[in-house]
Structure 1
Amino acid sequence: MSQVVRPVTSLGPGRRLGVWFQGCPLACPGCMSRHTWDPSGGAELTVERFTALWREALADGTGGSDGIVGLTVSGGEPLEQPQALAELLAAADEERHRAGRAADLLVYTGWEPAEIEADPAATAALAGADAVITGRYRAGQPTALIWRGSENQRLTPRTALGRERYAPYLDHRPERPELQVRVTAGELRVIGVPRPGDLGRIERDLAGRGVTFRETSWRP
């Protein structure tokens, strides 16, 4: 696990719990999250600990505009740990039913649909997802599609809840992406899917305020 964040408002509809897996062999050029590539990085997140965090998140508000309405799993590459992903989604599903909450489960993966279909473990791992965003990040194919980094990436609802919640966003192109900036323990993290030039503008703006970076995750 690379990090767990609540609330996440820039990777899926509404306020969400976000979990980032650690480790990604895809290493897409231009990836903004190079710190998640190393499989030996991050920290262990047990299913029990995740369940406690998810239960707490589901109790946050009533599910309306102020409540947690979903889970977003990203990375890193979640399908590099298919069994862990399957267990996490199963626990999330069980807990949302226990809480009586229609909280959707969204998974980001750089795998292509054909690669998922050809891999039984990956297919099984994603069986619990309400929606999936698939495809490598391709820096040369920028997009304005919401929650996606390049034009080739696809948002696919997989359940009735997924279709209900994500149908309005399949072709939605907001005027500007929503980004979150979190500062903790001397680190600044940008959550969301920036468009080309956004990270540079953030860096320049902060430099103008006297804030500089020793290193960044979006440069080699």
Structure 2
Amino acid sequence: MKPANAHLQLNKAHFPVTVLGPGQRIGLWLQGCSIGCKGCVSVDTWERDPQRTVAISSLLTWCKQVAGSGLDGVTISGGEPFDQPEGLRHLLQALRLWRSQARLDFDILCYSGYPLKTLQQRHARLLALLDALIPEPFIDSQSGVLWRGSSNQPLVPLSPLGQQRYAAFVCAPLQEEDKRMQVAVEGGRVWMIGIPARGDMTRIEALCRSRGLTLEQVSWRR
């Protein structure tokens, strides 16, 4: 695939995201996940969907338009980003080129449900394009830590910038002020962004129902 024709399947994109990494960030959720962790709150991102295919050049243009000068980082999640390795590579290369040419210092953080060793063995070249990684499958029975859904998931700095931004958070406990979710409304849809505590989504659904609101096509159920 030539860079000019590079594409990937995208579930959604949002700015600013303030609950998935430090500072104000662009959030990109890729479409398609072959892992399917039990208890995942983003079940809507599991199925591959050709209708969600976007050109990376168009996605990069959108990133430049929304970010302005207030961009601290880009967080890539899903779905499973590493299920689209070629598209992910072109996206990361495009982001790094933009960062270099515009003399910006935003970091790139990526989530994955694959074990760290698997990613190191199969996708070392992709890891070299990241500043930080949160790998390992989500385990519903384990409590969450900062920016992570379960405590088995490490925060792995991968570059000097990643060390600078994330070293202090590798073993950071989850503080009360960190237990935040964002709500975004777009096109008649409500998005919850962040890492919910166990039972949060069920409680939110029950609260809405008690006030006469019905949530349809929720992302945490198939």
Kindly provide the CA deviation profile for residues 108-138 of structure 1, in whole angstroms up to 9, marking residues without a partner as x: 011101111221xx22222210000001000
Is 1:44 equivalent to 2:53 in the alignment?
yes
1:155-194 alignment, distance < 5 Å: 155-172=155-172, 173-175=174-176, 176-194=178-196
Letter in 2 for 1:107: C
C-alpha distance in structure 2 between counterparts of 1:170 and 1:4, whole Å = 26
Local SS of the residue matching 2:54: coil
Return structure 1 stretches of 4+ with deviation > 3 angstroms. none
Extract unaligned runs of 5+ from structure 1.
62-66
Kindly provide the CA deviation profile for residues 37-75 of structure 1, in whole angstroms up to 9, marking residues without a partner as x: 00126612212112212222442x3xxxxx111101000
C-alpha distance in structure 1 between counterparts of 2:124 and 2:55, whole Å = 22
1:64 paired residue number: none
C-alpha distance in structure 1 between counterparts of 2:180 and 2:93, whole Å = 29
The match for 2:95 among 92, 97, 106 is: 92
Aligned pair count reads 211
C-alpha distance in structure 2 between counterparts of 1:96 and 1:210, whole Å = 46
Is 1:26 equivalent to 2:61 in the alignment?
no
If the length of structure 1 is used for normalisation, what is the TM-score?
0.91
Is the 1:23–1:39 contact (alpha carbons within 8 Å) kept by the matching residues of 2? Answer: yes
Deviating more after overlay: 122-131 vs 107-116: 122-131
Is the 1:54–1:92 contact (alpha carbons within 8 Å) kept by the matching residues of 2? Answer: no
1:112 paired residue number: 115
1:122-137 alignment, distance < 5 Å: 122-137=123-138
C-alpha distance in structure 1 between counterparts of 2:190 and 2:51, whole Å = 16
Deviating more after overlay: 131-140 vs 37-46: 37-46
Letter in 2 for 1:108: Y
C-alpha distance in structure 1 between counterparts of 2:60 and 2:157, whole Å = 24
Local SS of the residue matching 1:3: strand
If the length of structure 2 is used for normalisation, what is the TM-score?
0.90
Q: CA RMSD in A?
A: 1.5
Distance change in 2, residues 1:110/1:181 (3 Å): same
C-alpha distance in structure 1 between counterparts of 2:197 and 2:163, whole Å = 26
Kindly provide the CA deviation profile for residues 83-120 of structure 1, in whole angstroms up to 9, marking residues without a partner as x: 1111101110110111111100000011101111221x
Is the 1:57–1:68 contact (alpha carbons within 8 Å) kept by the matching residues of 2? Answer: no
Kindly provide the CA deviation profile for residues 167-212 of structure 1, in whole angstroms up to 9, marking residues without a partner as x: 1211221214221112223322111111102112222222233211
2:62 paired residue number: 53
C-alpha distance in structure 1 between counterparts of 2:216 and 2:104, whole Å = 43
C-alpha distance in structure 1 between counterparts of 2:53 and 2:147, whole Å = 27
